[in-house]
Amino acid sequence: MKAYWWKILGAVIVAYTIIAGMLGHVPALPILHESIRTVYYHVPMWFAMLLMYLISVIYSVKYLSSNKPEDDFIAVESVNVGIVFCVFGLVSGMLWANITWGDPWPNDPKLNSSAIASLMYLAYVVLRNALDEEQKRAKISAIYNIFAFPIMIVLLFILPRMTDSLHPGNGGNPGFAGYDMDGNMKLVFRPAVLGWMLIGVWIMSLRYRMRKLEYKENEVA
């Protein structure tokens, strides 16, 4: 039971934030109105994605020094799970943008940078599938991953702040935490970030174990 406490915690937190996010009180704000509830899902998706990509690049570095297949498995499965969170983050953001800005994808630096970063990690998956030799695939994709992570950070957090942007927290716009979110919302938002991160690690660990079993079966065969 001790080994599963964080999984139970993650599931409980996510269940709490979904229920509280749908039923809890939100401030009456112009334009945003009830759509501000999307922040409970949109932003935690990106935090979970960033955690997955961070784990991936750490294990890519470890693989290059250890050559252990297990390190490569964690790296690739972290990217796979991160891409899933990325898709949910993009979709929820598009729905929110359509309500608040009247366009699901306006010509905004933050959104365009997010699209480029997403394509960059999709290219990682394509690169792995294009290489047949196992060790060559692992090494090349690890090197690609190490370069992709800092570029992604620049695209998401540095470039949008250097120009005008509709997105909160960029281009001089205040972020939601200090402007629109009241104390009640923070009691839901902050646990949501932690909960989805834990769920992301849980999913990644399951996929890692499956990939490891497949690897051992192929070795025996």
Calpha distance 26→23 (Å, rounded): 9
pLDDT at residue 4 in the model: 84
pTM: 0.90
3-class secondary structure, 22 = helix
Calpha distance 99→13 (Å, rounded): 27
> Over the stretch 39-93, which tens digit does the pLDDT of each residue have?
889 899 999 999 999 999 999 999 999 999 999 999 999 999 999 999 999 998 8
Residue spans per domain, the chain: 11-220
Q: Are 60 and 68 in contact (CB under 8 A)?
A: no
